[in-house]
Amino acid sequence: SLKALNKNDITEVRALKRPPAGVILVLEVICIVKDIKPNKVAGSKPGEKVLDYWEPGRLMLSDPGAFLTSLMNYDKENMTEALIAKLEPYINNPNFQPAKIITVSKACTSLCMWVHAIYKYYFVYRAVMPKKAALAVAKAKLDETEAVLAQAKARMQQVMDRLAVLEQTLQETMDRKNELEANSR
């Protein structure tokens, strides 16, 4: 999904003066994934503070190339349970679905799909990790066994080589004996 994006798509999102709610929602989730803190701004009620991800999100998009690279190189193997817990309400939010986001922004649709993909990856990776660990243990045991086998084969070859020398010596000795017996008659 990220490969469909280019720098111009990101620049276009960043340039929005009054972004639609879907764009703001996508940038909020990307900020959460990248651990970018929101601004606290005055809410609609006196003394109320609300979290605003738009300005930190726009700042995150200031270098579109670096932003796209950071997403492509995102360390998805080390996502925390805390991050997944933060993402879950967004993943389940009907307004944070690619089919809904595509109505407001093509670029944000790809970003939304990316978040859904890394969220799913977390659970697949967690299921596969014990199997990978077991495979690593089995491979280490196999390597150890193959090393022991190679040593045993080398020792056996030494014995076979020594046996061949002894058989050659025996044959030469028998030939010499037979020759001496034949000459002594």
Task: Return the closest-CA partner of residue 126 out of 56, 77, 181.
Answer: 77
pLDDT score recorded for residue 5: 81
According to CATH, the topology of domain 2-128 is: Histone Acetyltransferase; Chain A (1.20.920)
Encode the chain (185 residues) as per-residue pLDDT tens digits. Answer: 677 788 888 988 999 889 999 999 999 999 999 999 999 888 788 888 889 999 999 999 999 999 999 999 999 999 999 999 999 999 999 999 999 999 999 889 999 999 999 999 999 999 998 898 899 999 999 999 999 999 999 999 999 999 999 999 999 999 999 999 998 87
pLDDT score recorded for residue 41: 86
pLDDT score recorded for residue 1: 65
Q: 10 Å Cβ neighbour count for 105?
A: 20
Q: How far apart are CA 16 and CA 14, in angstroms?
A: 6
CB neighbours of 64 closer than 8 A, spacing ≥ 6?
7, 8, 9, 10, 11, 14
pLDDT score recorded for residue 162: 97
Task: Return the closest-CA partner of residue 98 out of 22, 6, 154.
Answer: 22
Q: How far apart are CA 27 and CA 61, in angstroms?
A: 9
Task: Find the DSSP H helices in the chain.
Answer: 7-14, 21-33, 54-60, 64-72, 81-91, 98-101, 106-184
Q: How far apart are CA 168 and CA 89, in angstroms?
A: 82
The pTM for the full model equals 0.73
pLDDT score recorded for residue 3: 79
How do the domains of the chain map onto residue ranges?
2-128
